[in-house]
Structure 1
Amino acid sequence: MSRSGTRPGPRSKPKLGQNFLIDPHASLAIADALGDLSQRTVVEIGPGAGAITELLLPRAQRLIAIELDRVLAQRLTEQHASTPSFEVISADVLSVNLHDLRADGPPLLIIGNLPYYITSDILLHLFRFHADVDRAVIMVQREVADRVAAHPGTRDYGVLSATAQLYARVERILTLPPEAFMPPPDVHSSVLRLTMQPQFAALGVEPDAFLGFVKKAFAQKRKTLASNLRAAGLASDIAQQALEAAGIPAMARAEELDLATMARLWKQLESR
């Protein structure tokens, strides 16, 4: 788990696989990437010891930190007890209703160092609340960032890439080496900015049904799209007809198709 914070002391021995961000220049770049916070509610996921929290507090109209570690959550609460615009929620972010945090205000800004082992789950959670989120600046394992930001036709492009890009515009901000953390993790970390821009209306697809189709299309990534569709229960002749009508080669793989082409195929299948 990659976490932001100052260098941990004797009483802050990392738990839950925590790696605290100790590079002040990186902390500043991450906070800056979120933009103007003066009239916004910011939700920080996994503040850890609070290095980025300290940068956000004077900038944000309201700051809500979601911290799973109860010791760290209590410490942050005590450190900033005199700041009425700051709130700490000691919980798993996957259990937090982001719509409730938004209340009646503008869409939320999200920032955080995501636990590596549940990065995909947290991203899907953010996408579920896409109407309540404006943009998110997140730190993830570099290999995961490669998959999120990958373009069609590349090895890393897959269901996570397609899903993320259906919901958001993805930008790379920076990549950090292990020594930017204490203790150093075994991997590099990358920071992404996700600006919510759902593509479902533009593509003319129904979100849940289309995402279900995308997962089936990528079920076995190295197999052809036609093979994956047949494995999902679609008759071979129907799959072939839909591919032809959508202008897709019979031996194409899902990773070769951009979202517009994938949507065209889905609509062909839905009409049959």
Structure 2
Amino acid sequence: MPTLKSSVTISDAHVARKRFGQNFLHDPGVIARIIQAIDPKPGDRIVEIGPGQAALTAPLIAKAGQLHAIEIDRDLVARLRERFTESELSITEQDVLRVSFSALADQLGGPLRVMGNLPYNISSPILFHLLESAEQIIDQHLMLQKEVVDRMVAGYGSKVYGRLSVMLQARYQMVRCLTVPPGAFMPAPKVDSAVIRMVPLPVSAVRVRDWPIFAAVVALAFSQRRKMLRKSLAAYAVMLDWNALDISPTQRAEELSVDHFVGLANAVASLPLESR
């Protein structure tokens, strides 16, 4: 049951700060659907990125009993601490890109369930940052710009298929949960948003041998997406057995499936060190 302290309402006087990419969720229907998608249970180690005015924080605590939040805005941190007890809410007051989720998992006692309404201006860096700790994460439920979610789940051949699509699909199973209109936020953003569920694949199902090399190959291939692979990957092109990879060096990055990229990067990882 919520404590008396939990019943205090965070003041509406807080003004959303553009530099932190703040848009506060306020639509009760959308909030209920997000909580339903997360399906929190008592004992879950839930970490919320950017709790803001606690629109999702409060119902999550009501169901899970406790939550850990990451919040950079000191004014919001103070308000959250006024509203919730220490046993309900612990807070890391820091830029999320500086937080080690692996260390946080150790601190909280096991793998994490991560969720949040991500600041749209740094959503891609946050996604790549979370990717580094995927082995310590059970699932992620994240609110992002709809166009970013479209890129995340895009298939090869799509105009929006790119580096983000390949990197995330190689490590996660992803499902779009719901689309959220601008009016669900204050202030209202100029674009639609969407919530996505991301479940890390079992380690046994991840075929990438060397993640830094995989990341470098994907980045190079998409750095000039209209270039043929033999040009964008010129440093490796003559050393690769393209036929064995079932790839033509005249193909472009957007034409390769995630599996093709994995095979390509693994082949590069197998080259002699002096050739890489």
> Which category of TM-score, normalised to the shorter sequence, fits these structures?
0.7 to 0.9
Q: Is it true that 1:243 corresponds to 2:247 in the alignment?
A: no
In structure 2, the CA distance between the partners of 1:196 and 1:61, relative to structure 1 (3 Å rule), is farther
Question: What letter corresponds to residue 265 of structure 1 in structure 2?
Answer: L
Q: Deviations over 1:148-179 (max 9, x none)?
A: 11111211111111111122111101111111
* Displacement of 1:188: 0.8
Change (3 A) 1:32 1:251: same
1:253 matched to 2:252: yes
Distance 1:36 1:18 in 2: 24
Letter of the 2:138 counterpart: D
Separation in structure 1 between the aligned mates of residue 83 and residue 180 of structure 2, nearest angstrom? 28
Does the Cα contact within 8 Å between 1:200 and 1:207 map onto a contact in 2? no
1:98 deviates by 1.7
Counterpart among 85, 90, 108 of residue 88 in structure 2: 85
Deviations 1:102-154 (A, max 9, x none): 22633100110111111111111111111211100000111111111111121
1:200 to partner: Cα distance = 7.8
**What corresponds to 2:103 in structure 1?**
100
1:136 to 135, 140, 154: 140
Q: Could you list the per-position Cα deviations for residues 84-114 of structure 1 after superposition, in whole angstroms to 9, with x for gaps in the alignment?
A: 1311222111111222322263310011011
TM-aligned CA deviation for residue 201 of structure 1? 5.8
| SS of aligned partner of 1:203 | coil
Distance in 1, Cα, partners of 2:71 & 2:249: 49
Aligned residues: 260
Whether the 8 Å contact between 2:153 and 2:165 is mirrored in structure 1 is yes
Q: Which is further off, 154-163 or 249-258? A: 249-258
Summarize the Cα distance change of 1:109–1:156 in structure 2 as closer, same or farther, 3 Å threshold: same
Please state how far the C-alpha of 1:66 moved relative to its aligned partner: 1.0
1:211 and 2:215 equivalent?
yes
- Any stretches of 5+ residues in structure 1 without a counterpart? 1-5
Q: Report SS of the residue matched to 2:29.
A: helix
* TM-score (norm. length: structure 2): 0.87
Structure 1 contact 166–198 (Cα < 8 Å) conserved: no
Distance 2:124 2:69 in 1: 20
What is the aligned counterpart of 1:58 among 54, 59, 62?
62
1:121 aligns with 2:125: yes
In the TM superposition, what are the counterparts of 1:146-165 in structure 2 within 5 Å? Answer: 146-165=150-169
Identity, % of aligned pairs?
37
2:261 aligned with 1:262: yes
* Change over 3 Å in CA distance of 1:119–1:202 after alignment to 2: closer
Match of 1:13 among 12, 15, 23: 15
> Cα distance, 1:55 vs. partner?
0.7
Change (3 A) 1:86 1:267: closer
Task: After superposition, give the CA deviation of every residue in 1:237-272 in whole Å (9 maximum; x if it has no partner).
Answer: 33xx53233221332111211122222233444445
Letter in 2 for 1:62: Q
TM-align CA RMSD: 2.1
- Counterpart CA distance in 1 for 2:54 and 2:40 is 20
**1:24-63 counterparts in 2 under 5 A?**
24-63=28-67
Verify: 1:224 aligned to 2:228, yes or no: yes
Q: Distance in 1 between matches of 2:204 and 2:253?
A: 18
Aligned twin of 2:193: 189
Q: Tell me, in whole angstroms, the C-alpha distance in 2 between the residues paired with 1:164 and 1:202.
A: 11
Would you say the 8 A contact 1:7–1:182 is kept in 2? no
Q: Deviations over 1:203-257 (max 9, x none)?
A: 2522222222121121211222222112xx33x533xx53233221332111211
Report if the CA contact (8 A) 1:7-1:20 is conserved.
no
CA distance in 2 between partners of 1:27 and 1:156 (Å): 28
